[in-house]
Each structure stands twice: as C-alpha cells, then as structure tokens.
Structure 1
Amino acid sequence: FFFKTFRKYFLICLLYLISLTDNLKRIDLTANFISEIHEDAFRRLPQLEELVLRDNRIRQLPELPPTLTFIDVSKNRLGRKGIRNEAFKDLHELQHLYITDNNLDHIPLPLPESLQALHLQNNNIQEMHEDTFCKMKDFTYVRRALEDIRLDGNPINLSKTPYAYMCLPRLPVGNLI
C-alpha cells in the first residue's frame, strides 16, 4: 500500500516538474501503473515531440500538444471512451500513432494527413467506414504518407470496405475473411 501511494504522488510531482520545463522534447513513462493524467498535463510543453505512455492503466487521454510527432499509448485501458472525438485532428506533425491492446471499438477519426504509421492491433474494432482513410467520391485522392496500418487481432473483416484503402500506398495488415 505504501509503495503504491508513494508511486502515485511521485508521478504527480514528476508531471508537475515536467510542466515547468518548456523545452522538453520526449517523455517516456512506460510501465508506471499510471491510471490518470490531468487534462492539462502536457499543455505547457510547446516543444514536446514524442510521448510514450505504454503499459500503464490509463483510461482517458488528456489534451495533446500539436507538436507531437510520435505517440505510443499501447497496453492501457482506453476502451470505448478513452479517446475523445477528434483527439488527433490538430496534430498536423503526427507521424506515428500506436494504440495497440486498448480494447478500442473504433478507429479514432479524423487522422492527420501527416500520419505514416497507425498501429491498432489487438483491440475490439469491428467495423470501418469507407472514408476512414480516403476521401469519399474523390478517386484521385492519394494518401501517400500512411504506409503502415496494422489492424490484425481485431474482429474486423477488411474485405467488407474495399474502398476504404483505395487511396493508400499499401493495404492494411489484418483479417481479409
């Protein structure tokens, strides 16, 4: 009990100290039993590019700074409501997004055009819309950056939405049957 309480307060103090540093570029808090992050925890970090929070117990993502290029929140407890609508919309520099093993039931939209890798393995994603990755009715649109999509380990049948990938340079990895 003591260790758990100490660790919780230590992390709160650590996040407070982090917020005082305005030139921090990378945060890695892997495997720290974190279950909550204050909504404003990363707001005062104008230089933050990489955020790694994998293997914790996080249930809700806080607001994210627009400077992020890399996010890994794999192996948490985000579930159905852990990612708010349009959470990644204004992250115009985001290139890598890893949200594996979180029991998500949907692909968080919209995804920034800058995205190169999207890993959503081992969630509970069962369906996808035709406009998840591509612009509907614009068959000339090509999404060149997004080359690495992983949907394996989800109960989704990728062959049900073939137009969802027409604009991509590579097909997503996942179940086709």
Structure 2
Amino acid sequence: MKLILFLTVAGFCGHALCQQDDTYFWMSYLRSYWLGYSRFADPSPQRAQGRDCPLECECPPNFPIAMYCDSRKLKHVPFVPSRMKYAYLQNNRITFIQEGVFDNATGLVWIMLHRNQLTDEKIGENVFAKIINLERLYLDQNNLTVIPSPLPSSLKDLRLSNNKIAKIPTNAFEGMENLTSLILNNNQIEDIGGSLKGLQSLTLLDLSNNYLKKLPEQLPGQLHQLYLEFNSINTIPNEYFRKLPKLQFARLSNNNLTDEGVPSNAFNVSSLIELDLSYNKLQKIPPVNSNLENLYLHANQIKEFSLGSFCKVVDIMNFSRLRVLRLDGNSIPLSALPPETALCLRLAAVIDL
C-alpha cells in the first residue's frame, strides 16, 4: 500500500511540479509530503528534525536551526522546515524563487541567496513579505534590475551589490526603519533620489562603482560610513557633511571632484576620522578638521603643500590628529614642507609625498 501511494504521488509530481532540470526537486517535494501526512513517522523531535532536512542540504544536529544548501548546483529553493532560522543558499544556480517557498518558515532570520542567477520576473511577488523576523537578506551577485518588494520591516542588513539595478523608486525602502546596512555597490544607479529618507537606523551605505553624478540626498543623520568611490560626482553641496553629525568614514576616490566643485569647508567636520579623496582632480589640499586621522589625497593635481589646511594655528596646544597622510602621485616637492609641519602633524606615522 505504501509503495502504491509513493508511486502515485511521484507520478503526480512528475506531471505537475517537477518539470525542472534540478535532480532533487521531486525528491524534496516527496519528502515534505511524506513528513506532513505519514502516520508512520517517528514522533521523536530529534528523529523528525533529521527527516525534514531537504535531501539537497545539510542540517547539522548540533545546529538544528540552520540548513546548508550552498555550492550544490541547485536551480530552485528547496523545502524549508519550519524550525529553520538560517538558510544558506549561496553559490548555486538558482534562477527563480517560487511564491510561498518561505511561508512554512516565517521564523527565518538570515537568508543567503548571493551568487545565484536570480532575475526580477522569477521572484514571487510577496516571497519575502511574511518573514517578519528576517534580519539579513543577501541578494548580491545576481541578475536583478530592481529591488524586490515588499521587504519585511525587520531587515537590518540588505545586500544587493553586483546586480544590474539602475533605478531606485522613492518607496523602495518604505517602512524599513530597522535597516542599518545597505550595500548597493557595483550596479548601474544614476540617482538615488529621496529613497533613503526614512531609513532612520542606517549606519552604513555603499554606493560605490555606480553611475552617480551627484551625492545622494536626504541621508539619515545616524550614518557612520559612506562609500561613494568610482562614480562621476563632481560637486559637493555646501554644508552637506555637516548634516551628518555621526559620519566617521567617507570615501570619494575615483570621482571628478575639482576645487571649484568643493566648498572651502566641505570636509571641516569634527566627526570624520577617515577621508579618501584620491584619484580626483583637486589642485589644492582642502581644509580638514583637526580630529581627522587618515587623509588620502594621492593621484590628484596638487602642486603646493598648505599647512593651514591641517592647522589654523600652530603651537604646543594646537595640532592635527592625522596619523596617515598620502599625497603621492601629485606634484609636491619635499622642499615645499614648511618647518612647522613637524609640530602641526606631530602624530603622523605616515606622510607620503
């Protein structure tokens, strides 16, 4: 009788659900079916936990809330047991995420789907919406052109780098007040608009290697790290960084910044610890705050060393906290350094000319 039931279900699966190239797709379906309806299943929790693990994956007994399905040439997302909190599905060939695939596991906290072959049209419309405790979603290195939506408001870490995203709708991150890290580097984004305005908890934003021509607008005041290297930014609005009182790391290398496009006190912000302006078109050293510790200005067009950019007053009590200063790749002769440099930059361990 069991064999007849098994073959009947297998036949149904073959015709209705299993038109896939994935070897284990039908086996995964049968396993979930059998576990759900078999009256002969072992009732012990440990035994059940071992049985409900997808055949394509590993579910270690010593970490029963995680399923490891990475690097297995999968083309689909397998059945996810309800006990799971961590799903590792990266480094596969997954091209689609079927609607409802995570409905059985609404307690998921991490979903790792990076390095797959996902496209927009093959992701279920509400596939992530019911996972109300999801904190990390990695979708980097796929073939996405838009940001999936809706996304749960519980998200803290969203990674979408190395896709083909060009536009970000104003409401793309609506309601995501818990998001602290947003990674969008290596896409085709030309303008971020006001889409980041409501991200009250955001501390890290990576928009490097895109097509931006201006700085992103309406950034949240909690931001600590801002990465904008390898874009086409040529101007910095007046008082831009003063609106970010907690910003510590700013990277703007490999852009088109010139002296004319940078206000005189644009970077004179007390919160900044590291500032990277290398590989731009600056001809002068912009004034920086004395709290800055690492300044990268190499590969610009600077011809003179202006001590006043670091110290307004040079004496025993007034000096710069700079520890690393890179000016190599410019046209500054060593003789251009005034005698007071040693007093102003007394903490510097590295000064490259």
Give TM-score scaled by structure 2 length. Answer: 0.43
> Residue 7 of structure 1: CA displacement?
5.6
2:229 to 54, 58, 71: 54
1:134 lines up with 2:311 in the alignment: yes
Aligned-residue CA RMSD (Å): 2.3
Q: Show the counterpart of 1:172.
A: 351
> Mapping of 1:9-20 within 5 angstroms?
9-10=167-168, 11=189, 14-20=192-198
Unaligned runs of 5+ in 1: none
Distance 2:312 2:334 in 1: 17
Greater Rg by CA = 2
Which secondary structure does the structure 2 equivalent of 1:27 belong to? strand
1:71·1:97 contact (CA, 8 Å) conserved in 2?
A: yes
1:131·1:164 contact (CA, 8 Å) conserved in 2?
A: no
1:24-53, Cα deviation, whole Å (9 max, x unpaired)? 101110101111236xx14x5110111100
2:215 to 28, 32, 37: 37
More RCO (CA 8 Å, sep 6+): 1
1:84 lines up with 2:254 in the alignment: no
Q: Show the counterpart of 2:246.
A: 67
Count of residues paired in the alignment: 164
1:126·1:155 contact (CA, 8 Å) conserved in 2?
A: yes
Q: Label 1:58 to 1:13 Cα distance change in 2 as closer, same or farther (>3 A).
A: closer
Distance 2:231 2:302 in 1: 21
Distance 1:81 1:9 in 2: 29
Distance 1:158 1:67 in 2: 35
Identity of aligned residues (%): 29
Unaligned runs of 5+ in 2: 1-144, 146-163, 169-188
1:86-144, Cα deviation, whole Å (9 max, x unpaired)? 1122x2111000000001011111x11221000000000111224232344x4313536
Which secondary structure does the structure 2 equivalent of 1:166 belong to? helix
Q: Which amino acid aligns with 2:276?
A: Y
Give TM-score scaled by structure 1 length. Answer: 0.81
Distance 1:13 1:99 in 2: 21
